[in-house]
Amino acid sequence: MLTLRRPLAVLAFLILVEFGCGLPERPKIVVISKASVFRPSSPKEVQTAEQAMAAIITVCRDDLGLPVVDPLYIHLYRNTASFAFYGKGWTTLPFDVANIAAFANENKLHVNLEKLGKLQWGPAIWLLAHEYGHNVHYSLGGAPRSIRWFAEGFAEWVAAKVVDGLGWQNYETTSRRAQRQLDHHRDIIPGLSSVRYYRDWESLVQKPNGWVRTYNLAFLAVDRFIEKKGLQGVIEYMKSGDFKSSFGESEVAYQPDLGISGRKGNEQQQNKILMRKPEWKVGYEWMYEERLPGRKSKEIVKKIIIEDSKGSVPVFVVKVDDEEHLYSRETLGLFTTMKNGKETTSRDKPNQFFAWPLEVSKEWRNTYSIQNLDIGTKGVIDRLMVVEAIGEITISAGTFKTAKIEAYDNKSGRLVAEYWYSPGAKWFVKTINYDQEDGFVREQELRSFKVDP
């Protein structure tokens, strides 16, 4: 062993240099002990790893009654090479951990700062809370022997409860989103026994829609488990590590519900309804209330001020606060945003919110390249859009007949946005966008509007 390790270690270093990863550096270690109470009102208030962990421990300890992991050692790695070599082990290379931003073992939490990128500590709290859930599991003696879906589902449950306890995203919103994702992908959702073991889990998570088929499924299964057995039941199981002996039930008892019943009849009735593209005019105006995580809501007024063109694309120019949003006149898809006469975001083609006419179960691909010219980033948006239902929704502005459109990321399968379009308002009456820049949900709801009948 000793004669083999040195050549392999040298080879690993050479590969790191060859691929421009840089040489590994030892991590900075932050020790968390006797964390003080910290309840930041918004993600922006969290400036350090210590503050992030204090917020997480506050909720887990004071609200949930979970055991405190103390001391907790946070290992912060400068880059992926360091994370691989010193975090996972000397034989690990960067591509082996390409999809891992953090992991936990015993009372240690390892974080790859390169993967966080420009993500600040506030938005990273979900990730850190998930890993802290594993630390709690280890402290109870169960993680190494645990069923994989249970271990990951519990960690997701902890993260969801932490952001709920901080007032950033309520638990009902998180669980509803998870259930919608499961319903949408119900034809490919496995049984819990198929994600029981590490190898099966890792194989499935790398496949298309893998996140929904693993973490999402596991979260809802643990949610159901806690509903039936209580949190104390979870703790007792994690101590024993013996699922069936602890509860006398198999894992099938906790398989989440799939949204099948009643759908066909509703779809047949809704299929008779078509919603056609509205006619916009200069002067139309909509006022929304926007709700952000942990912050007071604010009013946003959107008003069509002129008709213009962007290159060869005819557009409506919509004034939104101190910005101008350019929407395609043909599709009503967002094309460009501007501020003080300069472009701030640009797309190679409009965001296709709609595929007119709208009818229930209609699907279309919404793919475009986008540049954020303020910070110099580029990306590709690839979403599957689905008209999930046509029905009525009641909000403060009144009751509206709407087409509910859901947007799913084509790679992960996650629900990234929900839109309720109303012919009466000639625009959205409600929108929910998930995983925004601050890491959490952002909602807008119509309060008033001025359009022709």
Question: For residue 353, what pLDDT is reported?
Answer: 95
Q: Is 325 left (phi over 0), alpha (psi -120 to 50) or beta?
A: beta
d(CA 352, CA 371): 16
Structural domain total, the chain: 2
Say what angle helices 148-165 and 198-205 make with each other, to 10 degrees. 60
SS (H, E, C) 216-239: HHHHHHHHHHHHHHHHHHHHHHHH
Cis peptide before 71 (omega within 30 of 0): yes
Structure tokens at 225: 């488990």
CATH code at position 358? 2.40.360
d(CA 178, CA 222): 12
- Judge if 97 and 182 occupy the same domain: yes
Residue 143: inside a domain, yes or no? yes
* Residue whose token pair is 């946005």: 417
Residue 14: inside a domain, yes or no? no
Structure tokens at 268: 């047949």
Residue 255: inside a domain, yes or no? no
- Judge if 125 and 198 occupy the same domain: yes
Q: Is 49:27 a contact under the CB 8 Å cutoff? A: no
| CB neighbours of residue 215 within 10 Å | 22
Residue 323: inside a domain, yes or no? yes
Q: What is the pLDDT along the chain (453 residues), one digit of tens a residue?
A: 223 334 444 455 555 545 455 678 999 999 999 999 999 998 989 999 999 999 999 999 999 999 999 999 999 999 988 998 898 876 666 667 778 899 999 999 999 999 887 668 999 999 999 999 999 999 998 766 678 999 999 999 999 999 999 999 999 999 999 999 999 999 999 999 999 998 999 999 989 999 999 999 999 999 999 998 899 888 888 887 777 666 667 788 899 988 764 444 455 555 578 999 999 999 999 999 999 877 678 999 999 999 999 889 999 999 999 999 999 999 999 999 999 989 999 999 999 999 999 999 999 999 999 998 887 788 999 999 999 999 999 999 999 999 999 999 998 999 999 999 999 999 999 999 998 766 789 999 999 999 998
Q: Is 348:310 a contact under the CB 8 Å cutoff? A: no
- Judge if 216 and 358 occupy the same domain: no
Question: For residue 304, what pLDDT is reported?
Answer: 98
DSSP 358: B
- Judge if 234 and 291 occupy the same domain: no
Question: For residue 213, what pLDDT is reported?
Answer: 95
Q: Is 231:239 a contact under the CB 8 Å cutoff? A: no
CATH code at position 227? 1.10.390
- Judge if 378 and 427 occupy the same domain: yes
Question: For residue 270, what pLDDT is reported?
Answer: 55
Partners of residue 310 on adjacent β-strands: 313
Residue 395: inside a domain, yes or no? yes
Show the domain range for 240.
21-246
Question: For residue 5, what pLDDT is reported?
Answer: 39
* Residue whose token pair is 């509703």: 266
Question: For residue 403, what pLDDT is reported?
Answer: 97
- Judge if 71 and 123 occupy the same domain: yes
- Judge if 189 and 321 occupy the same domain: no
* Residue whose token pair is 């640009």: 346
Domain-terminating residue out of 246, 264, 297 = 246
Question: For residue 246, what pLDDT is reported?
Answer: 64
Structure tokens at 16: 């790191």
- Judge if 297 and 238 occupy the same domain: no
Cα dist. 308→226, 325, 328, 346, 450 in Å? 56, 12, 10, 16, 21
Question: For residue 119, what pLDDT is reported?
Answer: 63
Residue 276: inside a domain, yes or no? no
Residue 343: inside a domain, yes or no? yes
Q: Is 406:432 a contact under the CB 8 Å cutoff? A: no
d(CA 54, CA 158): 14
Residue 387: inside a domain, yes or no? yes
- Judge if 186 and 327 occupy the same domain: no
- Judge if 70 and 217 occupy the same domain: yes
Q: Is 132:111 a contact under the CB 8 Å cutoff? A: no
Which of 28, 72, 24 lies closest to 52, judged by CA? 72
Structure tokens at 177: 């989103």
- Judge if 94 and 181 occupy the same domain: yes
Instruction: Name the phi and psi angles at 373, rounded to 5.
Output: -75, -20
- Judge if 235 and 289 occupy the same domain: no
